[in-house]
A and B are shown apart, each in its own frame.
Chain A
Amino acid sequence: MKSFDAVVIGAGMSGIACALRLKNFGLKVAIIEKHRVIGGLNSFYQRVKKNSDGSRGGIRYFDVGLHALTNFAKKGSKNKPLLKILRQLRIPYDELKLQEQNFSTIHLNNKALKFNNSIDLLSSEIQTYFPADHEGFLRLVELVASFKVSTEPSEYVSSREKIKEFISSKELQEMIFLPVFYYGSSWEDDIDFSQFCIMFQALYLEGFSRPYGGIRTLFKILQEKLKSLEVVKLMGVAVNRIRKIEEEHLIELSNGESIKAKQVFSSIGYPETQKILGEVIDQKAVGKLGFVEVQLIYKERLTEKLPTICFYNEDDQFRYKVPETLIDERSAIICSPEGYESFEGEEGVIRITYLANYHSWKSLESDEYEKAKKEIEIKARNLVQKLYPNHKRELVFTDTFTPLTVEKFTSHIGGAIYGATKKFQDGNIGIKNLHLIGTDQGYLGITGSILSGISIANLYGFPKGR
């Protein structure tokens, strides 16, 4: 039986980052991935283009997950999370070919604020549209900028309460929360204030960028790292069960084989890890937030400048929670990958993401399911038209994923992209030498998940000096 110092379950961002660090420490490392491709929640898929005569054309690539890489930092700047993780993984900055956003917008009830990778734009927008709150906003920026991330568990502080000390306008509060919740909260309708500060830094103080070529550019780099460091990859293999044998873990695989590991790093989620440990799943911990995303592919590239990302809410109250219907069409994220400095595609793309209810989707018969997807595509197209009235391009292809698609391809129970509601900052779920990484350990997004894999590897994988 093969035996490893460390086995990482799941080859998403956190798993790969973790495996690379462990390997750097000189350990014998294997990474197990259920699917044939790496990526997990941040992946891509491809569809063959059909020409108008029905013959096969080229291939279209679709990013899933990545709207934006948060925490943008310029090369050589000090004390930036993005630069720290690149350094830890020995990825030269220039290899990512980061393209900055043009600008993004927050829409709430006919009000709109612009922001970009400099806080000055948002600040001046607030000065114009919410002058009474401008001083408070600057105080908030100052507080957030000096906030230091701690791994110590701290008491939960409601951001909805805390923000009142800075911002009096309910509308402005909602607008500030819109991107923060969408990109950073696995809880409904609120977020812990320390998490709020981390997200505020990531989104507003540092901002958005995208690797030229999308998520595939990052994967190519990571693939090569895994290869050059000789991490053992077990692809297309699932973990059926983990059993404790004395001081080691026995990992039973779906291909009938078993391997042994001194340490296990699981990126598959807390309830999902409980499942393979043979424990009763803590149903309260199963994340509820699901998403539907519509991808609209246009024949032509954009000629006008659209916001890179638009965070949209129809009325004056943002409800960040599971809708009672299939989706909550009152709110959405509209992402235009063409809205970065430079974009590689020949065709245009707009992605529209809605909050969704997993159980509503699950209860549909297959014909109803397809019909519902089509209806939501029409809603998404109408929303694009409403927001960008001058936008007239020929639509050539659409594709939609639902919480069921997410569940199928990521194995996250309930299609919960943002994972469990309970987080384990130290990766410890009460099993010796088994550590949680990824979405259920820490932060969301690509930067967050890579940071998670790195920090837990550093915490437990580093062989202590004698």
Chain B
Amino acid sequence: MNAQDVKNIVLKIITDIAPDEDVSGIDDNLTLREQIDLDSMDFLDIVMELRKRYKIEVPQEDYPHLATLKSCMDYLTPKFQSA
């Protein structure tokens, strides 16, 4: 599993949570929040889906790592690789 796969996984989860949002043009380096309509409750759902689908745990203090797609990839890829 590489960083690109992880990015696709995160985007798939976002699409499932927020079906009305267009995720095609998202810039990896800008925060998700400023590009699509996600709030803290939605981030909770991303964490939840990561756990349910892939048994990946994201502790509360690490939530800031989910801010951009780039930071998601950096943070989650090692977790996927060791899972």
Q: List the interface of chain A (C-beta within 8 A of B).
A: 24-26, 75-76, 78-79, 83-84, 87-88, 92-93, 454-455, 458, 462, 464-466
Contact = CB atoms under 8 A, between A and B. Distances in A.
Contact of A87 (B18, B47, B52): B18
Name the residue among A83, A87, A466 with the largest chain B CB count within 10 angstroms. A87
A76 B20 contact: yes
Interface in B15-60: 17-20, 37, 39, 41-42, 44-45, 47-48, 51-52, 57-60
Interface residues of B, number: 19
Contact of B57 (A24, A455, A458, A465): A465
Given A26-B51, A78-B37, A88-B41, 18 more contacts: A25-B48, A79-B37, A79-B39, A83-B37, A84-B39, A87-B17, A87-B18, A88-B45, A92-B19, A93-B20, A454-B41, A455-B41, A462-B48, A464-B60, A465-B57, A465-B59, A465-B60, A466-B59
Given A75-B20, A87-B17, A92-B19, A466 B41 contact: no
Contacts, number: 39
Nearest to A93: B20
Contacts of B44: 458, 462
Instruction: Please classify the interface of chain B as helix (H, G, I), strand (E, B), loop, or mixed, using the class held by over half of its residues.
Output: helix
Contacts of B58: 465
Contact of B42 (A26, A75, A76, A87): A87
Contacts of B39: 79, 84
Contacts of B19: 92
B47 to A, nearest CB: 7
A101 to B, nearest CB: 23
A462 B20 CA distance: 25
A267 B65 CA distance: 35
A23 to B, nearest CB: 11
Contacts of A25: 48
A466 B42 CA distance: 20
Nearest to B58: A465
Contacts of A458: 41, 44
A88 B40 CA distance: 11
A464 B37 contact: no
Contacts of A75: 20
A25 B44 CA distance: 10
Q: 6 closest Cβ contacts across the A-B interface?
A: A465-B59, A465-B57, A78-B37, A76-B20, A465-B58, A466-B57
Contacts of B47: 465
Contacts of B18: 87
A47 to B, nearest CB: 39
A464 B48 contact: no
B37 to A, nearest CB: 5
A92 B19 CA distance: 8
Contacts of A455: 41
Contacts of A454: 41
25 contacts: A24-B48, A25-B48, A75-B20, A76-B20, A78-B37, A79-B37, A83-B20, A84-B39, A84-B41, A87-B18, A87-B42, A88-B41, A92-B19, A93-B20, A458-B41, A458-B44, A462-B44, A462-B48, A464-B59, A465-B47, A465-B57, A465-B59, A465-B60, A465-B62, A466-B57
B28 to A, nearest CB: 22
A294 B41 CA distance: 40
A83 B36 CA distance: 13
A186 B26 CA distance: 44
Nearest to B50: A465
A113 to B, nearest CB: 32
Contacts of B42: 87
A424 to B, nearest CB: 20
Contacts of A26: 48, 51-52
B56 to A, nearest CB: 10
Name the residue among B37, B51, B58, B60 with the largest chain A CB count within 10 angstroms. B37
Nearest to B59: A465
A25 B47 CA distance: 10
